[in-house]
Amino acid sequence: MRGAMMLSFIHLSDIHFHKYSGDAYDIDHDLRCEIIRDISYEYRKKISTIDGILICGDIAFSGDEQQYNSATTFLNEICNALNLDKSHVFCVPGNHDIDQKITSSQMAVALLQKKLDESKSTTEFDLNLGKIFRKPEDATVLCAPISCYNNFAAKYGCSFDQKPTWKQEIAINDTFTLCIFGINSAFISNEHDHKPDQTERKMRISRMQIPERKENTVYLSLCHHPPECWVDPGKILSKKMDDRIAIQLYGHKHLQMIRKTSYGIVVGSGATHPSRLESDWMPRYNWITIDIEFEKEVPTLIIKVYPRVLDDIESKFIPDGSINVEYLNFSFPLNDPTLPERGEISEGDFNHLCDPEVLLVESWERRFLYDFMNLPYVVREEILRSLGLHTDADIGKTHVKLLNDLVERAKEKACVEKLMERITLEKERMLR
């Protein structure tokens, strides 16, 4: 087999950028600087390259645009330190990415959330969510509480506007592909997430958000809420995730946890920015590498997780001493006959609700989304007019809708290459 390579990622979660992030009195500024220093120096000592940044939600604290601006600045600093393309960020929303002003004031949003929340079974939830996403106007209403998240995530190809999931494929070698699968677990999140007795209300995901089995594909999922936070009678959803996804990444709990399944691993990430009022305040993040090796001609998936934790005394990130090793090493034969047989979904017909092929964001689209939205408005308009891609109907569209329409328009007019050339040219001019 030719073309083998190792993929490596930074795994963050629960960053919680708030309205004071970045100002002169931001006490978390030093923490973020230490993360960048750790990634820039310690990471590169052990792992020479990086392929992306994986974020498991709660990027913001209250779903506000200003908070996402702070997040963008931080992610740009990481990318610059690692010479990583800024489009190589993969993210999903969490409960703190919900704008509760919208969920509490807009009746239409509340009614759709209530309908989903009161679904009496997994199948009923699947069907109710499918009905909503079949109607663009209903999908827009349901996604309104994460509109600022979607505008932020659109430039990374990770928005959830008009769809409950997204995916991105990256080649591991000539035969195997890593498919990063983003899952929105915050459909029903609102101001009632905590009941009067302070117990946490359970969130919901759908079977149509779990990928189909696919030959020579290794799945990595991003989801904010871990399985113990789902409505999941009979553990149908968590078992399906364990059977199909080699690397499951979660946030939300602020507790570092790594467990092995029959097919892969589940990683619950500690918070990158936990509240300083938490009694066990301990900022964390992870390095993750993915490789395929061959033992007696058998392809074997090799996963390494490097948990990093802040040493508050020395004020720097170090390996997590609780595991007594620098990293945890996992291996899984990719043609093991004892693993669940790879086939089609058998429990009901849900594929029609969310065609996985439609959700694939190609690499050129990812670069386009990021670079285009970072150009000045006047420059963007001039590019579109010169290529015949401008239309007055774009006025007033959300970032998400605008970008999706432009991608399709460029494909129809067969001017994708010209569009990318113009964007690259203008990007270089701005850097001079």
- The model's pLDDT over 373-418, given as tens digits with 9 standing for 90+, comes to 778 878 888 888 888 887 877 776 666 667 777 777 888 888 888 8
Residue 149 CB contacts under 8 Å (≥ 6 apart), including other chains:
59, 60, 63, 68, 93, 97, 159, 160
Neighbours of 41 (CB within 10 A): 10
Is the predicted pLDDT of residue 368 greater than 80, yes or no? no
Q: Which among 323, 328, 322, 317 is positioned nearest to 283, based on CA atoms?
A: 317
Considering only residues 157 and 250, tell me which one the structure prediction assigns the higher pLDDT: 250
Average pLDDT, the chain: 85
Residue 52 CB contacts under 8 Å (≥ 6 apart), including other chains:
9, 10, 84, 88, 89, 90, 170, 180
Question: CA-CA distance, 324 to 326, in Å (whole number)?
Answer: 7
pLDDT of residue 347: 35
Record the tokens describing residue 311, joined without a space.
């040493």
Which of 29-43, 309-323, 390-404 is least confident?
Answer: 390-404
CATH topology of domain 7-357: Purple Acid Phosphatase; chain A, domain 2 (3.60.21)
Mean pLDDT of 186-209: 89
pTM as predicted: 0.85
> What H or E segment, with its residue span, contains residue 377?
helix 377-386
Task: Give me the phi and psi of 266, to 5 degrees please.
Answer: -120, 125
| Amino acid present at 46 | K
| Amino acid present at 321 | G
| Amino acid present at 259 | R
